[in-house]
Amino acid sequence: MKLLITGGAGFVGARLARAILQKGRLDGQAIAELHIADMFAPPADLAADQRVRVHTGPLLNQAALFASGFDAVFHLASAVSGECELDFDLGLHSNLDSTRLLLDGLRRAGNAPRLVFASSVAVFGPDASNPLPDLVSDHTLPSPQTSYGMHKLVCEHLIADYTRKGFVDGRSARLMTVTVRPGKPNGAASSFFSGIIREPLAGVETTCPVDAGVTHPVSSPSNTVQGLITVFEASQQAMGGRLALNLPGLNVSVGEMLQALEEVAGPAVRKRVRFERDERIAGIVANWARGASADRAHALGLKPDVSFKAIIEQYIEDCRSPAYPAGALQGMS
Amino acid sequence: MKLLITGGAGFVGARLARAILQKGRLDGQAIAELHIADMFAPPADLAADQRVRVHTGPLLNQAALFASGFDAVFHLASAVSGECELDFDLGLHSNLDSTRLLLDGLRRAGNAPRLVFASSVAVFGPDASNPLPDLVSDHTLPSPQTSYGMHKLVCEHLIADYTRKGFVDGRSARLMTVTVRPGKPNGAASSFFSGIIREPLAGVETTCPVDAGVTHPVSSPSNTVQGLITVFEASQQAMGGRLALNLPGLNVSVGEMLQALEEVAGPAVRKRVRFERDERIAGIVANWARGASADRAHALGLKPDVSFKAIIEQYIEDCRSPAYPAGALQGMS
């Protein structure tokens, strides 16, 4: 199998690539080549794998690659929500035009490859005549309130139509907010959902830009990767004719996240988080889902993480691997 | 006011242009210039109006025009459903790329003009896990089953996002199937909804490609034009934060349409329609809404046509005007 992962050098993408290389096969077929297309070079362990081919640079330069004939694609590359709010054109080019280029390349190759698109819970948003329910479901009417959410929704519909026409065998998995992310804060408005755990564990004081009562559906990196692989391996029949579904999320409040942090790492670590409201971030988050359900993903056997404590423990274990930044746990006693 | 109507040479567009020129103003402002951008030249009566400026050719060539600074836009130009199913690229270019070019031109001009987009009831479609309700409402989850319907839905979301960012003051009115259209059948899969009335009135034998029990929401041309103008003149507040709404439709079966034809024009006319199933058309129509509601349009004061008889009578009256093709009623005794 010749596989492409766009955004395969990113946090979720690299983790997905590692999981697939380790498994060695996807849907019963051995991985012969794994192509990673990303703005940045992938981590060294991935680049060193004999099966990996690296294509660094903007996706908009990869027309020839996309048309080269893949058996399977995970399309994860994306400008994130905060970036798209700050630079409207960047968002359109990175998220809509790149996806069109990818889809048209796959179509030109003519072999209707299976494609999993990483969509997002950000497709949901409230509007005056249609407030968000407590849990956004597979049947909730999407009404995105960020450009990023709009891009994801538009790509879902493009992929559904390319699939209906037989150009690809596509499906869209709506990722919940993935936490805990290692490294530095990124441009995503959701960055603090990782920062309020990661920074205090590293001994760094940090601020939380929203109130403790804010709730949100989150997922650990490993549970998210499992979701993407399961959706890839599902038959068209199992998808039930609907090509976009919610991945499972753990519905949790910011206060509960910090409580779990205290239980895992102690009160001194917890105290490194100070509440300091950021109106720009809080305004974006106020339009996000407060919780999510995922009936169709459950039917595929997927489940949310068991607890936020378990998510933090997964992060701490990850930090002990050499691939994670040094000093990530130097704030723990 | 400097106004643009894309698709302003088409059936609905030309009628909209006439109605606005006759009214002389829109939302209280006098029409100084009405620009018509269309693949084809507009009817002679429009071209002759001192206020009209004609721009013939593909919308994709009109970047400079779009950025020239309009106060108001009706965006009606579109490749139709049958065309888009037959030529996938034509659909993408005519419906998605043209709309992006228009929106980016308006954005570059920087004055956030009011924009009404002619969307369609074709945004709705059934899928295996979500069958269509008897009436598609403003809150029904769109799941388009044609490329045309996908394009319309994607443009709704693009316009909502350009509006949220303050680049335009947009809204999307979902047109029901407009009937009775004069002239020749077009590439739309819905063309027969006009053909089964128009052809027998002209003395021409015709076929109906779907069963008599098929129901669908329809609207007369004048009621559709009234809907577009009312949505244009509605305040953002009256739109209630939701920018896409259903225009009112009269929910009617093919059998009831033919019954109304017989009542208006007699049994000999009715008998010129023979049922001859066309699997391609019937397959597309089977995925269309069987009926529609339009609560938000009603709140703006809009109503469906009173009866299908009244729609036929409107057509017959129109046929007596010089703008309509000669011989359109030569089949009536």
Structure tokens at B281: 């058309």
Map chain A to HEC letters. CEEEEECCCCHHHHHHHHHHHHHCEECCEECCEEEEEECCCCCHHHHCCCCEEEEECCHHHCHHHHCCCCCEEEECCCCCHHHHHHCHHHHHHHHHHHHHHHHHHHHHHCCCCEEEEEEEHHHCCCECCECCCCCECCCCCCCCCCHHHHHHHHHHHHHHHHHHCCCCEEEEEEECEECCCCCCCCCCHHHHHHHHHHHHHCCCCEEECCCCCCEEEEECHHHHHHHHHHHHHCCHHHHCCCCEEECCCEEEEHHHHHHHHHHHHCHHHHCCEEECCCHHHHHHHHCCCCCECCHHHHHCCCCCCCCHHHHHHHHHHHHCCCCCCCCCCCCCC
* Chain A residue numbers touching B296 (CB-CB < 8 A): 129
pLDDT at position B245 is 96
User: Residue A303: which residues within 8 A CB-CB, separation 6 or more?
Assistant: A223, A248
- In whole angstroms, what separates CA A26 from the centre of its chain? 19
B128 to A160: CB separation less than 8 angstroms, yes or no: no
Cβ neighbours of residue B162 closer than 8 Å, sequence gap 6 or more: B103, B106, B107, B168, B170
> Measuring CA to CA, how many Å separate B61 from each of A90, A139, B102, B177?
23, 40, 10, 29
Domains and CATH numbers, chain B: 2-176+219-246 (3.40.50.720)
Cβ atoms within 10 A of the Cβ of B19, count? 16
Cβ proximity of B155 and B73 under 8 Å: no
Which residue of chain A comes nearest to B85, CA vs CA? A165
pLDDT, residue B325, reads 78
Mean local confidence (pLDDT), A243-251: 96
pLDDT at B87 over 90: yes
Name residues 228-247 of chain B within 8 A of A (Cβ): 240-242
Say which DSSP state A8 is in: T
- B157–A144: do the CB atoms touch at under 8 Å? yes
At residue B275's C-alpha, the angle toward residues A165 and B144, to 5°, is 25
Dist. CA A307–CA A217, nearest whole Å: 12
- Residues A115 and A99: beta-carbon distance below 8 Å: no
Q: Model confidence at B332, in pLDDT bands (50, 70, 90)?
A: confident
Answer yes or no: do B157 and A154 touch at CB < 8 A: yes
- Confidence band of B315 (pLDDT split at 50, 70, 90): very high
The tokens describing B237, both together, are 């507040």
Which helix (DSSP H) or strand (DSSP E) does residue B241 occupy? none
The model's pLDDT over B267-313, given as tens digits with 9 standing for 90+, comes to: 999 999 999 999 989 988 898 999 999 999 999 999 999 999 999 99
Nearest CA-CA partner of A179 in A250, A74, A83, A238: A250
- Report pLDDT for B273: 98
Pairwise CA distance, residues A289 & A190, whole Å: 12
The backbone torsions φ and ψ at residue A161, rounded to the nearest 5 degrees and listed phi first, read: -75, -40
Check residue A333 and give its pLDDT: 73
Distance in Å, alpha carbon of B23 to nearest chain A alpha carbon: 32
pLDDT at A323 exceeding the cut of 80: no
Pair of tokens at residue A225: 């990767």
- The β-bridge relationship of strands B250-253 and B215-219 is antiparallel
Name residues 61-120 of chain B within 8 A of A (Cβ).
88, 92, 100
Residue B148 annotated in active site: yes
Arithmetic mean of pLDDT, B5-23: 97
Q: Out of A123-137, B14-28, B288-302, which region has the weakest mean confidence (pLDDT)?
A: A123-137
**B87: its two tokens:** 């030529």
pTM, two decimal places: 0.96
Condensed to tens digits (0 to 9), the pLDDT of residues B198-209 reads 999 999 999 999
Nearest to A242 among B127, B153, B165 (CB): B127
pLDDT of B135 over the 80 cut: yes
| Cα–Cα distance, B297 to B171 (Å, whole number) | 12
Instruction: State whether residue B158 sits within 8 Å of chain A by CB.
Output: yes
Give pLDDT, residue A200: 97
Find out whether A277 and A209 touch, Cβ atoms under 8 Å: yes
Helix ranges, A96-146 (H): 98-109
Scanning A43-97, the segments in alpha helix (DSSP H) are 44-47, 63-66, 81-86, 88-91
Name the residue among B139, B164, B241 with its Cβ closest to that of A128.
Answer: B241
Residue B183 burial by Cβ neighbours in a 10 Å radius (0-12, 13-18, 19+): exposed
For the segment A33-87, what is each residue's pLDDT rounded down to a tens digit? Answer: 999 999 999 999 999 999 999 999 999 999 999 999 999 999 999 998 888 999 9
Mean pLDDT score across all residues of chain B: 95
ipTM for the predicted complex: 0.95
Report residue A155's pLDDT band, with 50, 70 and 90 as the boundaries.
very high
CA B85-B88-B94 angle, to 5 degrees, is 105
Asked if B277 and B211 count as a contact pair (C-beta separation under 8 A), the reply is yes
Of B202, B185, B203, which is closest to residue B194 (Cα–Cα)? B185
Residues in chain A closer than 8 A to B130 (CB atoms): 139, 242
Contact B2, B69 (CB under 8 A): yes
Q: Over 90: is that where the pLDDT of B321 sits?
A: no
d(CA B203, CA B331): 3
Of B141, B150, B165, the CB nearest to A139: B141
Mean pLDDT computed over B161-177: 97
Task: Report residue B195 as tokens.
Answer: 């053909």
